[in-house]
Chain A
Amino acid sequence: MNSGGDVPAVVVDGVGMVFNEGTGGEVAALDGIDLTIRAGEFVTLIGPSGCGKSTLLRLIGDLLTPTAGGVSVFGKSAHESRTGQDYGMVFQHAGLFDWRKVKANIELPLELRDWSKTDRAARSAEMLDLVKLDEFGEHYPRQLSGGMQQRVSIARALSFEPRLLLMDEPFGALDEMTREHMQGELLRIWGETGTTVVFVTHSISEAAFLSNRVIVLSPRPGRVHSIIDVDLGERTPDTREDPDFFAAATTIREALRSVGGAE
């Protein structure tokens, strides 16, 4: 799917972000961020609260405009990528619309892209199969558990095969068991679709389990403290008990400790 060749998925170039600029109540959220994410990579942003990891995600997604530097996505500006509908987003709050059935929620981005009804129905069926919720298409979101809702949210974000999937603590509101299950599911889906993922979390084990690379941010203003490569090969439930997994988690934990944010 990512036929970008050598074009990186995301290039963040000298990005700074100051909120309330010129009002006296200025807050420097990010400063001098340089970052390159390769196509098909799974990258996690981690750091203590106030490090601007969600802000960075929103800058990549063009939901915010940086006050310094620039962001390009697959060789285009972030703005062009957003208006070109290259992004899939998943938030901590599943953000499903109560008034749409599960199926219709998944089809919403397709409707906005003027897909035909039959194409939409075919794709939503495919997506429901992907997140293993085939029987729930005709349910309303509120009839589903939190974990199931988040799966629908992921299905919706992937329905139009976005080139870049942006996830802001998507499993933050789930219990530990559901969370681990969802992480496994996400990696399976990522493996099947080959999309590029930028994932914000504050969980060390989540970052270690999911990522190819972990970007550790230091707070106030947010800067890239270190970039940690994680090479655990194919993830399975046993990976969580693998010494390499613990070693990766330890490296991340130490980096976080040195920026004053170990949990």
Chain B
Amino acid sequence: MRLRQLVQSGTSLGPAVVVGLAGFGLWEGAVRAFGISQFLLPKPTSILAELQAEWPVLRHAGWETGRIAVSGLLVGILAGALLAMFTTRFRMLNEGLTPLAVAVNATPIVALAPIFNAWFGITGTLSNQAVVIAVVFFPVFINTAKGLTEVHPDEIELMRSYAAGEWTIMREVRVPNALPFFANALRVVAPLSVIAAIVAEYFGGPQDRIGNVITSNAGFARYDVAWAAIAVASAVGLALFAAALLVERVSMPWRLAVGGSDSNNNPGRET
């Protein structure tokens, strides 16, 4: 990224920062003015104080939960993308699997967490990772498969006229065509992986994670600590989202080159 672009994106963040800070100010003011009790809604300043006081615990919890989220994210992305490529090569398989995947994706997969505990053990991290993988897998699979198959027919005919085989068509046409779809899936699953990890932690697994820090502190009415843990979780989620955006920019330089409309919401190309 060039310096000018960096400065531009910096200045475009300005309004968001101002609104965010104003929001915190309003929050702080409202809690003080209306005497809202700490246990309903703690002040931002007391959350910040707890964030400092409990930092070693929170940092450790954030790190561990982040590791669950990231490892599950990577496995889920890899599995989703690879299976999408595999099924695209075999049309029948794709037509059978995709509707099924869409249906599974519409079910609340995190609700499976207690069952995964029974399958993969309640004390280890495996069952939590399994929840993240399951949550991440489906959107990646569905979107990537869509991008791999929704190629303009002329482009396939063109490649065939060059006597290109299926594998070459996959590499030269389908995969690059699927990148914007894949990137959209990344934007969705990156923060989703943190949510999945925390919800899974509510149901079991080691006790030094964000999910458990939130539930145990809420149990002892230490809501400001619970809020501080939530703040840490948000930071992890944002970091992963930022990483997803970075991957998107680096992998698709042609999108940046087109008059600044870097990546509108539509992954499909104009035809």
Query: Hey, which bits of chain A sit against chain B, CB under 8 A?
Result: 58, 61, 63, 82-85, 87-89, 91-93, 95, 97-101, 108-109, 112, 139-140, 142-143, 166
Contacts and interface: CB of A to CB of B under 8 A. Distances in A.
B118 interface: no
A85 B162 contact: yes
B258 A140 contact: yes
Interface string B246-271: 00000010100111000000000111
The binding surface of chain B is classed by DSSP as helix
B162 A95 contact: no
B121 interface: no
B257 A95 contact: no
B238 interface: no
B154 A93 contact: yes
Given A140-B258, A142-B258, A112 B162 contact: yes
Given A88-B161, A112-B163, A142-B270, 20 more contacts: A63-B161, A82-B160, A84-B163, A85-B162, A91-B158, A92-B154, A93-B154, A95-B155, A95-B158, A97-B155, A98-B254, A98-B269, A99-B254, A100-B254, A108-B162, A112-B164, A142-B254, A142-B258, A143-B258, A166-B161
B114 interface: no
A168 B176 CA distance: 25
Nearest to A142: B258
Interface residues of B, number: 23
Contacts of A89: 157-158, 161
A85 B160 CA distance: 10
Given A63-B157, A83-B163, A85-B163, A93 B254 contact: no
B78 interface: no
Interface in B150-175: 152, 154-155, 157-158, 160-164, 168, 172-173
A91 B257 CA distance: 25
Given A98-B269, A99-B254, A109 B162 contact: yes
